[in-house]
Amino acid sequence: MIDFAIVGAGISGLSSAWFLRQQGFSVRVFEASDQVGGAICSSEQDGFLIEGGPNSTLENTNALGELVRGVGLEGGLLVANPEADRRYILKQRRLMQMPVTALAFLQTPLFSARGKLRLLAEPFIGRAPAEESIADFVRRRLGQEFLDWAIDPFVSGVYAGDPEKLSVRFATRKIYALEAQYRSLFVGALFRLLTGGRSGPAPSGRMISFTAGMEALPKAVASRLGDAVQVGKGVAALNRQQEGWSLELAGDGDPVSARRVVLALPAHRASQLMKSVSAPLAEALSAIEYPPIASVALGFERHQVGHPLDGFGFLVPGREGMKTLGTLFSSTLFPGRAPQDHVLLTSFIGGARNPGVPEMDERELVAQVLEEIRPILDIQGDPVLVRVQRWRHAIPQYKLGYGELLGRIRRILDAQEGLYARANWLDGISLSDCVRNGREFAHAMKQEHSPAELDMTQ
């Protein structure tokens, strides 16, 4: 009997499998679709390298470097162009640079003099007695302007979410932690965080990808795991056995027995699987919401775009009333993503602000994005490349009450012996978070059960 069956070959499942194997456990990963990576998907078209999901990730945990080295992908690592440190925010349809120094902050037209003065009150504001939304937290500490023109677009960029609904403690843990950590230095530390800088001790704080795109990572992990990863093998049902679990696979095939099972699935998919195991668990998982997003990649000849594209891209505050959430200057972020004398832009549209939008037909979606970004970036003519990727369930929303909901989920899971979950609806949504969580999980398992002990039960 294998030690761990992992359901789902996204980065959560693959990194859990990799680190569990490093700890000496036997693993098998079952993936429903015909490829590994889940939300991570890169593709090439006409000389452009397009990301349908994550475009980069912040190397803010040691686990990511360990995984990259472990699977021999160091040579393919790409660090973002330093120009990408420049980030723009749209205000009154003009791009304004997010300030990174105190002087730039004093000079920026992004905030009014009154908004800037309001920040001076910040060190004198105490902690709230109860869980707050991101919006309430920021309004209380930093004022409405800071919420509208700095935090709201940041939340859209990361979660495609609504700051009035997300929990500051769970959705923006680092911002929440700054309150206790930095006190009077809170504002400076917050700006560093928003602009992708380091907020505390972290390995490198580099924004990274890979020469062959983000997909190179899950592919390399899967290739090193070899036969242990099986694609096109969705898990249709889980049944408790006298010892461990039996997994029924979709289509043909004998059930597989495993001592322990890890659900590395989006919450709604885990909920379906849990219906026959625990109705309360299935119900709790189904309460985790995911807004839809579409990622729209547009390629142009360089001369068609008037803007210098000298940065990471721009984010759109909700107050601008646009359906596009933001646009990455993908070929600036990682040069080589577009053919010579061409540029690649990746826009995200929809999210909690405009949930119906990703349902639009592809031509309408592209037309909507183009209509909105054309005047901002001074774009002439039609794109030479168009690629749309829709995500019906994009990113789990860590809403107010998330602590209570997760507590309930954890209690039910704890009562199901040998059943675990590792996915982006637990402890962080970024790719780096998922890798770190996979590593922590494997280490915790090693502490709890030595592989030798498990082998003796075979």
Ligand X SMILES: Cc1cc2nc3c(=O)[nH]c(=O)nc-3n(C[C@H](O)[C@H](O)[C@H](O)COP(=O)(O)OP(=O)(O)OC[C@H]3O[C@@H](n4cnc5c(N)ncnc54)[C@H](O)[C@@H]3O)c2cc1C
**Which chain residues interact with ligand X by CB under 6 A?**
7-13, 30-33, 38-40, 53-57, 234-235, 264-266, 269, 273, 293, 295, 391, 394-395, 423-424, 429-432, 434
Nearest one of 258, 254, 229 to 241, comparing CA atoms: 258
**Closer of 128 and 158 to ligand X (Cβ):** 158
Is 88 in contact with 39 (CB distance < 8 Å)? no
Is 97 in contact with 85 (CB distance < 8 Å)? no
Query: What's the Cα-to-Cα distance from 36 to each of 56, 258, 267, 271, rounded to whole Å?
Result: 18, 21, 18, 21
Nearest one of 196, 372, 210 to 298, comparing CA atoms: 372
**Closer of 115 and 313 to ligand X (Cβ):** 313
The least CB distance from residue 207 to ligand X, in Å, is: 9
The least CB distance from residue 330 to ligand X, in Å, is: 11
Nearest one of 410, 423, 416 to 244, comparing CA atoms: 416
**Closer of 128 and 236 to ligand X (Cβ):** 236
How many other C-beta atoms can be found within 10 angstroms of the C-beta atom of residue 302? 12
The least CB distance from residue 119 to ligand X, in Å, is: 28
The least CB distance from residue 147 to ligand X, in Å, is: 23
**Closer of 53 and 383 to ligand X (Cβ):** 53
**Closer of 36 and 134 to ligand X (Cβ):** 36
Nearest one of 366, 318, 323 to 345, comparing CA atoms: 366
φ, ψ for residue 4, nearest 5 deg: -135, 125
Rounded-to-integer distance, Cα 417 and Cα 238, Å: 13
Pairing of strands 77-79, 94-97: unpaired
The least CB distance from residue 205 to ligand X, in Å, is: 13
Q: Where are the beta strands (DSSP E) in 64-163?
A: 77-79, 87-91, 94-97
Nearest one of 279, 257, 295 to 418, comparing CA atoms: 257
**Closer of 31 and 66 to ligand X (Cβ):** 31
Contacts of 426 (CB under 8 A, 6+ apart): 406, 437
The least CB distance from residue 252 to ligand X, in Å, is: 15
The least CB distance from residue 31 to ligand X, in Å, is: 5
**Closer of 17 and 90 to ligand X (Cβ):** 17
The least CB distance from residue 121 to ligand X, in Å, is: 33
The least CB distance from residue 243 to ligand X, in Å, is: 22
The least CB distance from residue 24 to ligand X, in Å, is: 23
- For 137-175, the DSSP string reads HHHHHH-HHHIIIIIHHHHHHHHS--TTTBBHHHHTHHH
**Closer of 48 and 391 to ligand X (Cβ):** 391
The least CB distance from residue 322 to ligand X, in Å, is: 18
**Closer of 299 and 350 to ligand X (Cβ):** 350
**Closer of 178 and 423 to ligand X (Cβ):** 423
**Closer of 187 and 352 to ligand X (Cβ):** 352
136, 141, 144, 147 alpha-carbon torsion, rounded to 10° = -70
396, 398, 404, 410 alpha-carbon torsion, rounded to 10° = 40
The least CB distance from residue 326 to ligand X, in Å, is: 11
Is 56 in contact with 333 (CB distance < 8 Å)? yes
Rounded-to-integer distance, Cα 331 and Cα 80, Å: 10
**Closer of 331 and 424 to ligand X (Cβ):** 424
Pairing of strands 342-350, 385-391: unpaired
Kindly state the DSSP code that residue 351 receives in the 8-state scheme.
Answer: T
- Which structure tokens are listed for 321? 């009333």
